[in-house]
């Protein structure tokens, strides 16, 4: 099967590499020449564990190539995947479909035979039908079907998720397209991973409903965490006790500084807008968005209390800036709300992150980057754990405390405990939803 993959971001590159590993012939396209040059040199423009080795293996096998020339990639392709960005449209919160529609138009103009045009980008209900219209208008002769194939991979575990998915969702309008999609995913089908075949609208909706549900679960536990702080309960014990219930499950029940990342904030917002458009308001999702914003702001208040009411003149070491561990992605990370508040309040901020510096340097002006947590903590008034990278999960807390001017910690991922902190000599320790010492 010959596949063209339009967009080589977190989703397009992982999908392209994995499809080539299935044995398909894949050409990945990006309009960013710097990305394609890197890929052609065998370098991966993003940080995703395991991706570089799998990419090199398939390039060497001759199944995977890269180009900026969309026409060349589409020529002879039996399936063309659209995996371009769908960020929040400025001003109104809708998903911005400019990149999707531009790609669709260009694909239509360059199709040379029948192909299935598969939207992998997360797009609101109705978009696949619009893609079809845009393509038919751009080239009335084009012979194609559209398919919706939303992606559920998680950054940081993307290859594992792609190769061993909980399910693959495929929305189609006819059997011809369904057959092409079945052929593409045959290796997963043979290994009995569930493939859910639906109409276009249901496939589009599944993606938003799933993301909104996960964002709700996180926000729910964050709100329970706040109440735990007031009543003297411990959110870790509460989460454990809840999560062991099979109907609830233990995933996405960890309290923290609010969800971020490249998907939940924009997808919850886009779903809320779709609900408004159809006069079927997503009231739960709208509340989740509001509460999540409040949670991030509440973290700033927590830090301010820890530092005696003001950031001014304080030195603060921030451990972790990416939106979660094992990725370099900074999109909508809680750090983008919290760190500027510290800097704006007059603090001297030092940041450490195993992969965040490349993106973070431009996004977090005024901070000093360090590569070692103990060095970052030297003479500091507080340490803040914002992302639970493994590097920050087994710190020598005694050593850390000794380096600091005043040993205080805000553990916003609940990695340690008040007991650990006290034993190590911390004079103040705050976390999320548990006992604190201030």
In the complex, which residues of this chain contact ligand NAD (CB under 6 A)? Answer: 6-12, 29-32, 35, 70, 83-86, 99, 102-103, 121-122, 151, 153, 155, 262-263
Closer to ligand NAD by Cβ: residue 46 or 418: 46
The runs of H, that is alpha helices, within 167-306 are: 175-184, 186-190, 200-231, 235-243, 264-277, 283-306
DSSP assignments along 70-127, one per residue: HHHHHTT-SEEEE-----BPTTT--B--HHHHHHHHHHHHH--S-EEEEE-S---TTH
Check if the beta carbon of residue 12 is closer than 8 Å to that of residue 87: no
As measured in angstroms, the least distance from the Cβ of 16 to ligand NAD is 11
Residue of minimal Cβ distance to ligand NAD = 9
For the question of residue 263 being annotated catalytic, the response is yes
Q: Which helix (H) or strand (E) holds 315?
A: strand 315-319
Closer to ligand NAD by Cβ: residue 83 or 421: 83
Closer to ligand NAD by Cβ: residue 104 or 299: 104
Check if the beta carbon of residue 321 is closer than 8 Å to that of residue 353: yes
Closer to ligand NAD by Cβ: residue 6 or 228: 6
Q: What 8-state DSSP symbol labels residue 356?
A: T
As measured in angstroms, the least distance from the Cβ of 140 to ligand NAD is 21
Closer to ligand NAD by Cβ: residue 122 or 431: 122
First to last CA, the chain: 62
Closer to ligand NAD by Cβ: residue 30 or 145: 30
> 428 Cβ partners below 8 Å, 6+ apart?
306, 382, 406, 407, 408, 409, 437, 438
CA dist 376 and 398 (Å) reads 15
Parallel, antiparallel, or unpaired for β 168-172 and 144-148?
antiparallel
CA dist 384 and 222 (Å) reads 18
CA nearest to 243, candidates 234, 233, 235, 253: 253
Catalytic residue among 18, 28, 228, 263: 263
Tokens of 242: 């809840």
As measured in angstroms, the least distance from the Cβ of 86 to ligand NAD is 4
Residues acting as catalytic residues: 263
């Amino acid at each position: 099967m010959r596949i063209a993959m339009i967009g080589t971001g977190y989703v397009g590159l992982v999908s392209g590499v994995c499809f080539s590993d299935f044995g398909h012939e894949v050409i990945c396209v990006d309009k960013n020449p710097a990305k394609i040059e890197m890929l052609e040199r065998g370098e991966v423009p993003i940080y995703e564990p395991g991706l570089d080795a799998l990419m090199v293996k398939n390039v060497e096998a001759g199944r995977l190539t890269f180009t900026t020339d969309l026409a060349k990639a589409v020529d002879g392709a039996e399936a063309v995947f659209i995996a371009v960005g769908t960020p929040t449209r400025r001003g109104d919160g809708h998903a911005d479909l400019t990149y999707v529609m531009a790609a669709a138009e260009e694909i239509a103009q360059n199709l040379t035979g029948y192909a299935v045009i598969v939207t992998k980008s997360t797009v609101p209900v109705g978009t696949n039908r619009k893609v079809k219209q845009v393509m038919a208008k751009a080239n009335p002769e084009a012979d194609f079907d559209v398919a919706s194939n939303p992606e559920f991979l998680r950054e940081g575990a993307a290859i594992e998720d792609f190769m061993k998915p909980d399910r693959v969702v495929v929305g189609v309008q006819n059997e011809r397209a369904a057959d092409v999609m079945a052929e593409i995913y045959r290796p997963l089908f043979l290994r009995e991973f569930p493939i859910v075949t639906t109409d276009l609208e249901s496939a589009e909706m599944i993606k938003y409903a799933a993301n909104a549900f996960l964002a709700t679960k996180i926000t729910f536990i964050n709100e329970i965490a706040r109440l735990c702080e007031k009543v003297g309960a411990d959110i870790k014990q509460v989460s454990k006790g809840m999560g062991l219930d099979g109907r609830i499950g233990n995933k996405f029940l960890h309290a923290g500084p609010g969800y971020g990342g490249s998907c939940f904030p924009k997808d919850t917002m886009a779903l809320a807008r779709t609900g408004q458009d159809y006069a079927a308001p997503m009231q739960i999702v709208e509340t989740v968005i509001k509460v999540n914003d409040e949670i991030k702001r509440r973290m700033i208040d927590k830090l301010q209390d820890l530092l005696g009411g003001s950031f001014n003149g304080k030195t603060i070491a921030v451990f972790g800036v990416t939106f979660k561990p094992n990725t370099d992605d900074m999109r909508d990370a809680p750090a983008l709300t919290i760190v500027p508040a510290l800097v704006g309040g007059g603090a001297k901020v030092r940041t450490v992150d195993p992969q965040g510096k490349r993106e973070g340097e431009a996004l977090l002006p005024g901070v000093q980057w360090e590569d070692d947590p103990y060095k970052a903590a030297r003479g500091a008034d507080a340490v803040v754990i914002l992302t639970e990278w493994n590097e920050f999960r087994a710190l020598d807390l005694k050593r850390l405390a000794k380096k600091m001017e005043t040993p205080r910690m805000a553990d916003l991922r609940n990695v340690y405990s008040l007991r650990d902190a006290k034993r190590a000599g911390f004079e103040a320790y705050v976390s999320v939803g548990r006992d604190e010492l201030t």
